[in-house]
Structure 1
């Protein structure tokens, strides 16, 4: 492939359009259409790829449904009740509010499957709670909220894992199970770091909630806490498919918010639908562009070419995974996670399969990498979200994020080189990998 090849020209156009500010999905569509024109192929292929990819894959319906569930929870009082319960459980320790931030992300992860939904939803309340009366600096509160939000797409349900299942033809159910232990280990590592930092910086101790009130607060929060159980029992009990479970999640969030807590009215529900539609359209455009561009990549035989080159280097699985980690971490600094998942990961999958790497294990490693990209400067999306929410300068947030990011990179190394950490729970449920 030379610099004058049609594919290279198309790739240069995509890159130029993206740098000029055109959404990545549209940039990929424009570049792919240019490729088809240069190679003399039928323009109808674009529509064909849209239709085959977008409308024949029921897995993709899970994405807007999980987004809707998260929006309904954010518009109601579910997040607020969850925070009160978390505060009652771990708020009594030194640095308790910081520990609350981690715990609420663990529970919220079982509801939304979206890091941005976590940060933009309960993250606003955590920012206010932690910075009230100067208990924590705004930058530390924002950094911690951004870091804990990456747990969301690792612990099921997970929108990135749904997309990975789409491009790698892997079981969503086993992918969801594979994310549980890594997600909890990431959260545990954050809690240890907070405990150490709390003593070093002398973080405040919150007034403890009397233990006699804990049963009542648990009962009030039970409908919120029960949602992940409903999802997991539905999927792994064979009652629902993951897509149907997403619909159940949205319906459950609506019933709890409207009937049980009576915290969402018609106007707020409409706003949730509107926001969900906008978010879904953004992701859908990225998927559409990726589908067309992946057709171009397939026509150029790039996955097989890269696979042949890498295998020709006599790489072992461990070395390949190291290369993948470095590549995805670097790309995460400058590219949006969904783009990496839909464009870059499909190119790496054939090589991983040829080297005998388990696809569920590879999927978790890829998703964790992409999540770390959300908090990696200069273009980490969660950094921008929390800069806007907190009003803190980016450099201050990055300084407080860095220790957590280094810890998570170490955790990524464990997930990469010890596959049993990832695959233990799926094997308990019958996975043969």
Structure 2
């Protein structure tokens, strides 16, 4: 590792500590590396422009973001909430169960943990806090934990990014995330049921069974979104990017034409918010593309591979090491930055050890999503604390049991690859 590379890494750390967005920090560090190495600094611009404009797959990201924003603004999320409440709200800690189930369903539309927490999560938190039914910190902790499921079940923006760096099929990655997402949802509901009894949380008034068909009927247009996505992709009708465009169009038509729940001003606001979110993700991707060029020049992946090979790690130990490293980094760094900068270093070694790329991708995404809710930096902690107006420390207290059970779920996904691969294999995957 050269002096120039050490300087670049130090610059990223300093800039990040000063509060500069990590994407900007990586771009600045890459340019500085090229400068002190005597190379043409325009290479940084060439790398990021080629990566951004030469990758058709990246178009899926703004389209999924736009679909999620329309869901949040319109009445689709409200109809889904009514359906979930009728389905599981009758049990002790019922609104907690509603929180998890709504995340499972809403995840089939947004692909973003933050979108889930800010949209559907905000609505459920308000219900949980009404009349003091649940502590604010508990409502926030469960919302942060359940929002993690969003990018694991398709569609998934992090899986789109993993496909970009690993040249893995998005369709098979999406299928691979279904079972792990459901497992995490079930584990969270078990934990919520245990904590509901421990803290004597209330039992909600049961919605009569006869009203369930009506709630289901009202929610069908929203529930069809993931069906359209999956049928389009796995039926060979659309590419994943085209499916994202179809999802955005479907959300737009249903919200404006069918439900008439979005005004022109709200539609414009959805476009504006989507543009802002896309720009934020785009800058991060641009920074990662520029810095990954530096990492490649320095031959960092090969160096790390040689170090790991020196320890004679088998696939089991390698996955354990990767999980520990990613969990620790998840406490400190932004998830997409880890995915775009750190994960590519591990991919060659994973392939050399015979680890399936779809399985490895799902393990990585689950791990990084847990990092979104892991103290001290986890972004979801600050999002839900802002919604609940509860101190982050109080939220963390209730979050720790959920984190523990999600790490147990991560262990299942890591060491039982068939959990991930059985569904892709049903659709022709040969891994």
Length-normalised TM-score, structure 1: 0.98
**Cα offsets for 1:20-52 (capped at 9, x unmatched):** 111111111111111111111112212211221
- Cα separation, 2, equivalents of 1:90 and 1:23: 40
Stretch deviating more after TM superposition (258-267 or 201-210): 201-210
2:39 counterpart of 1:47:
no
CA distance in 2, matches of 1:25, 1:13: 12
Structure 1: 4+ residue segments shifted above 6 A: none
Separation in 2, partners of 1:181, 1:256: 28
Alignment of 1:100-111 (within 5 A): 100-111=98-109
Q: CA deviation at 1:200?
A: 2.1
Which of 252, 258, 267 aligns to 1:269? It is 267
Unaligned runs of 5+ in 1: none
**Equivalent residue for 1:72?**
70
| Among 354, 357, 360, the residue aligned to 1:356 | 354
User: Which residue of 304, 307, 310 maps to 1:309?
Assistant: 307
Using the TM superposition, give the Cα deviation of residue 339 of structure 1 relative to its aligned residue in structure 2, in angstroms.
Answer: 0.4
Correspondences of 1:115-194 after superposition (within 5 Å): 115-194=113-192
Cα offset, 1:199, TM superposition: 2.0
Q: Deviations over 1:145-189 (max 9, x none)?
A: 110000000000000000000011100000000000000000001
Q: Give, in angstroms, the shift of residue 190 of structure 1.
A: 0.8
CA distances 1:345-391 after superposition (whole Å, capped 9, x unpaired): 01111111111111111101100110011110001100000010000
Secondary structure (helix, strand or coil) at the match of 1:117 reads helix
Contact 2:92 2:201 in 1 (8 A): yes
What is the alpha-carbon root mean square deviation over aligned residues?
0.8
Give 1:328-347 correspondences, 5 Å limit. 328-347=326-345
- TM-aligned CA deviation for residue 288 of structure 1: 0.3
Distance in 1 between the 2:146 and 2:48 partners? 35
Residues 1:113 and 2:95 aligned together: no
Superposed CA deviations along residues 296-319 of structure 1, whole A, max 9, x for unmatched, are 100111111111221122110111
Mean Cα deviation higher: 263-272 or 193-202:
193-202
1:198 corresponding residue in structure 2: 196
Query: Which of 377, 383, 386 is the aligned partner of 2:384?
Result: 386
d(CA) in 2 for partners of 1:65, 1:398: 33
d(CA) in 2 for partners of 1:142 and 1:20? 28
Q: Distance in 1 between matches of 2:133 and 2:8?
A: 52
User: Following the alignment from structure 2 to structure 1, what is the Cα–Cα distance between the partners of residues 212 and 378?
Assistant: 38
SS at 1:226 equivalent: helix
Q: State the match for 1:210 in structure 2.
A: 208
Alignment of 1:233-252 (within 5 A): 233-252=231-250
**After superposition, where does 1:382-421 map in structure 2 within 5 Å?**
382-421=380-419
Match of 1:298 in 2: 296
CA shift, 1:201, in A, is: 2.0
Cα drift, residue 107 of structure 1 = 0.4
CA contact (8 A) 2:49 2:286 kept: no
Residue 15 of structure 1 pairs with residue 7 of structure 2: no
Shift of 1:15: 1.2
2:201 counterpart SS class: coil
Q: TM-score, normalised by structure 2?
A: 0.99
* 1:53-90 Cα deviation digits (max 9, x unpaired): 00110000000100000001101111111101100111
The number of residues matched between the two structures is: 431
Mapped pair 1:27 → 2:21: no
The 2-side partners of 1:266 and 1:105 are apart by 28
Shift of 1:192: 1.1
Question: For 1:244-279, what per-residue CA distance to the aligned partner results, in whole angstroms no more than 9, with x for missing partners?
Answer: 010011000001100111000110011011111111
Structure 1 residue 203 displacement after superposition: 1.6
Gaps of 5+ in 2: none
| SS of residue in 2 equivalent to 1:335 | coil
